[in-house]
Chains A and B, each alone.
Chain A
Amino acid sequence: DAGITQSPRHKVTETGTPVTLRCHQTENHRYMYWYRQDPGHGLRLIHYSYGVKDTDKGEVSDGYSVSRSKTEDFLLTLESATSSQTSVYFCAISDPSTDTQYFGPGTRLTVL
């Protein structure tokens, strides 16, 4: 398995509170991604990063921000969580030697 961890794995929070999800990789790959998974929608891209301090928006970026100050860490922040952000969040890395994305175990976030 690719060396990707996500923390926390589960979180319950209240509407309006800030939440930060962490993705950590041990592979030293440049490309990292955040997706959300919702029933009937598959996985949708939130933000991605092509390197330290190099990030860009994906399809469903509203309400989310990201930061990447180190190669190994990619943080996803919900500045003020809403119930519509209840979802399972997956981080992924792209291995340039195989041109393949590998996924972390996911974080299940519930916003009450």
Chain B
Amino acid sequence: AQSVTQPDIHITVSEGASLELRCNYSYGATPYLFWYVQSPGQGLQLLLKYFSGDTLVQGIKGFEAEFKRSQSSFNLRKPSVHWSDAAEYFCAVGEDSGYALNFGKGTSLLVTP
């Protein structure tokens, strides 16, 4: 069955430190891959996406993600975290254009001073 796994439920990092959030998926072909961020009490905002081409994609707010086909992974990274990055992050996967998304359970990021 198709699935999306975010292994880390909670992550705590110090402000200024680097960040990596993990996402693994189980799909037959290369799916459409997304990262969304949700601040408390807010809706979901798209950070970045990957469909094909260059496997390192840049997004908003200084985030980037790398698609690794051999590992079925699409990990999100940021070189230096800011306090405003504290939020919940969701990895999502779709089979094709227009298909509904299958979400991971999310990773909650806490940023300490």
Interface residues in chain A, defined as those with a beta carbon under 8 Å from any beta carbon in chain B: 30-31, 33, 35, 40-45, 48, 50, 58, 90, 92, 94, 96, 99-106
Interface size class of B (residues with CB under 8 A): 20 to 34
Which of these, B34, B94, B104, contacts A42 with CB under 8 Å? B104
Q: How many interface contacts (CB-CB < 8 Å) are there between A and B?
A: 51
Docked Cα-Cα span, A50 to B34, in Å, equals: 21
Complex contact A45–B90 (CB within 8 A): no
Render B22-55 as a binary contact track against A, CB cut-off 8 A, 1 for contact: 0000000000101010000011101001010000
B92 smallest CB distance to A (angstroms): 8
Interchain CB contact under 8 A, A48 and B43: no
- Give the complex CA separation of A77 and B105 in angstroms: 25
- Is B63 at the interface (CB under 8 A from chain A)? no
- Report if B97 contacts A (CB, 8 A): yes
Task: Let me know if B113 is at the binding interface, CB within 8 A.
Answer: no
